[in-house]
Amino acid sequence: MKYIFCTVETHKNSNAKYNYEPKCGGFVLAKYLPLGSVFPYDFGFIPGTVGEDGDPLDIIVISEQGTFPGCILKCRIIGAIKAIQQNKDGDTVENDRFLVVPEASAVFGHIHRVAQLPETVLDELQQFFINYNKQEGKNFQPLKILSAKDACKAIEKAKSNSQPIKKIELFLPLYDASGTPFSAQLFQDISKQLIKDFGGITAYTRAPAIGIWIDPKKQPIKDENVVYEIMVAEIDHAYWKQFKKKLELQFAQKELVIRQSEVGLL
């Protein structure tokens, strides 16, 4: 992971804390810090991640200049402050702060590892978040500094926790145009291929789906289908384009339906 995209919520030297609210599609003023207290750097999150606290992973943008709420930055991961946070109700969760440097930074462009930062920067950052959380009745406890490599691993794990995920559904006909059923071996081979490529599938075969449409002669046509369902994190469009062409040849169909949708898991 060389670069990632980060979203800024609160800009450098801001006395106000902003939170991104997906429901309203914008940034909402959360609170004001005590007089004399400001954010030392841009503060935001990594989209597409979910941390232990249920929120996207937090980032601190080490840069010579602040931006604005909503600014998207292409950044390099240099490390992280691993920490736990005890909330008012007594629950303790992991709440790390990931350290990034914008690709566009001139002053910090040479920084690739957290060890290259002055110790005073890390000390000031840790003290800032200790005091910041203390004002809300929370106990923020830094544990250790993660290397860039370990920070990247943690981000990849948080990406895998991110929802929604993608659901792909394949609708395959049971019969050809003359009403002859396709062989069971054909469906078995398709199942084996999908399991090999994606690790598992859900097949709805005992109660076939019924498709009804109107042909050019205005006559209703019914078709019974087997439905295969696959869950993936990302969709490989090239793979599915090629696989669809292969299926259309095997089933002698002008076009088969392969549908994608986003779903969440509880």
User: Which residues are paired to 98 by β-bridges?
Assistant: 59, 80
Please count the residues of the chain.
Answer: 266
As given in the structure block, the two tokens for residue 86 are 């005890």
As given in the structure block, the two tokens for residue 33 are 């810090």
- Rounded to two decimals, what is the model's pTM? 0.63
Q: How far apart are CA 187 and CA 197, in angstroms?
A: 15
- For residue 232, which of 185, 175, 162 has the smallest C-alpha distance? 162
The answer to whether 68 and 55 have CB atoms below 8 angstroms apart is no
The parts of the chain modelled with pLDDT lower than 70 are 1, 162-164, 205-223, 264-266
SS3 state of residue 133: helix
pLDDT of residue 163: 58
Q: In this predicted model, what pLDDT tens digit does every residue of 188-236 receive, in sequence order? A: 999 999 998 888 888 886 555 544 444 555 554 456 888 999 988 778 8
